[in-house]
Structure 1
Amino acid sequence: MTSAWVGERVRLRAKEPEDWEAFFAFEEDSDAVRNGWRLHPPRSAAQAKKQATEQAEEESDLDEINLVIATRDGNAPVGSINTHQIDRVHGTFAYGIGIGTPHHRKGYASDAIVILLRYMFFERRFQKAEAWVYSSNEPSLALHRRLGFVEEGRRRRSRYAAGRYDDEFLFGMTVEEFRERHDA
């Protein structure tokens, strides 16, 4: 049996209450948190447990999803991936991804992105994916270029973090570009 949610290195799965510890630990790396979006004040273990339980109990949507990226064999959480800004009229969506620092540079992000795009393009009939990446996140910029995303725009000085302003790059990939690069 083959699952559409399993790649070469990872599996995408729903969040479980016990995942709270891994994600709570990932929050300790402030630079990695900033690369994803924004730094928040520390939260308690009780808050992290509560959030994990609430997310595990949420009803899932076919298009707006929030999944754990887990190791293929051990099923241990290494990060998360989600879709947002779903536009069913025009067939576009955006996604965000975060990998815990101990799991960087192992191919987990690229594998997870390909799995997600395959689902959104070939199961949900979307025609274009978008991602925004901050200029200070050089590994993510390189990842998106390596995966075949096209740089479509740049918002100058659109974010302030760690005492500096960052530009924000907009990347896009159409279903045709995905098919050509990552033959489904």
Structure 2
Amino acid sequence: MREIDYSHYFWQDEKIRLRSVQEEDWEGHYINRFDTPARRLLECTVELPPTIAESRKFVDTFAEFSSQRLMFTIENLNGEYVGGVNLNSIDEKNGTFSIGVQVDRDHRGKGYGTRAINILLKYAFLELRLNKFNECALEGNEPSAAMLRKVGCVQEGVRRKVIYTNGQYLDLLLLD
């Protein structure tokens, strides 16, 4: 296959590129499932032990953008797997949506998640004509709340003690 010229490609910036989920991404998904603290903040629960079969099914489900959740793989410009990001909860009638992101432990703190969200925000607002980005962060998940503030979100409210995990009820910070 010819070399791809990414110089005019919508789905990248100076540091990262978003691409479709591919068969080989099952391993990154599988390995990320062993990061219980990060997964607890993302899913608000402790997940059952990961399986290779579940990780392969995940890839099959989200490859080709065949799901209502638009799932992307984040890679750096060297082609290294960095994590995943998705556009979800799209309500076309009311113009609302959410974005989920998980960056591998080795790549956190480098701005990759913020960059990926910015690309998806541009797509959602300028191409899909959506109107409002709704997101939340679990109490104590300051890295996610800070990332959302970096992309322009402000805290709209708090849902008090609505998530039970790790033996306690936690607040959910509502940002938009």
The normalised TM-score by structure 2 is: 0.88
1:6 equivalent among 5, 12, 30: 12
Alpha carbons 1:86, 1:93 under 8 Å: kept: yes
1:70 counterpart residue number: 75
Equivalent in 34, 46, 52 of residue 59 of structure 2: 52
Aligned residues, how many? 169
Task: Give the C-alpha shift of residue 49 in structure 1.
Answer: 2.3
Query: How far off its partner does 1:77 sit?
Result: 2.0
- 2 CA distance for matches of 1:151 and 1:28? 30
* CA RMSD between the two structures: 1.6
Deviation of residue 154 (structure 1)?
A: 0.6
Partner residue in 1 for 2:137: 133
Gaps of 5+ in 1: 173-184
In structure 2, the partner of 1:176 is none
Alpha-carbon distance between aligned partners in 2 of 1:4 and 1:27, rounded to the nearest angstrom: 30
Please name the residue that 1:117 is paired with: 121
In the other structure, the counterpart of 1:84 is 88
Identity value in percent: 35
User: Which consecutive segments of 4 or more residues in structure 1 shift more than 3 A?
Assistant: none
Q: Does residue 33 in structure 1 map to residue 39 in structure 2?
A: yes
What is the match of residue 43 of structure 1? Answer: 50
Does the CA-based 8 Å contact 1:135-1:141 persist in structure 2? no
Cα–Cα, structure 1 residues 58 and 141, in superposed 2: closer, same or farther, change >3 Å?
closer
Q: Is contact 2:34–2:50 with CA below 8 Å preserved after alignment?
A: no
- Whether the aligned pair in 2 keeps the contact of 1:154 and 1:169 (CA below 8 Å) is yes
Contact 2:153 2:175 in 1 (8 A): yes
Residue by residue over 1:95-147, the C-alpha shift from the partner in whole angstroms, topping out at 9 and shown as x without a partner, is 21111212110110110010000011111111111111101211111111222
| Length-normalised TM-score, structure 1 | 0.85
Q: What is the one-letter code of the residue matched to 1:67?
A: F
CA contact (8 A) 2:65 2:71 kept: no
SS in structure 1 of the partner of residue 134 of structure 2: strand
The one-letter code matched in structure 2 to 1:111 is R
Letter in 2 for 1:2: H
Name the structure 1 match of 2:4. Answer: none
Q: Which moved more, 1:77-86 or 1:99-108?
A: 77-86
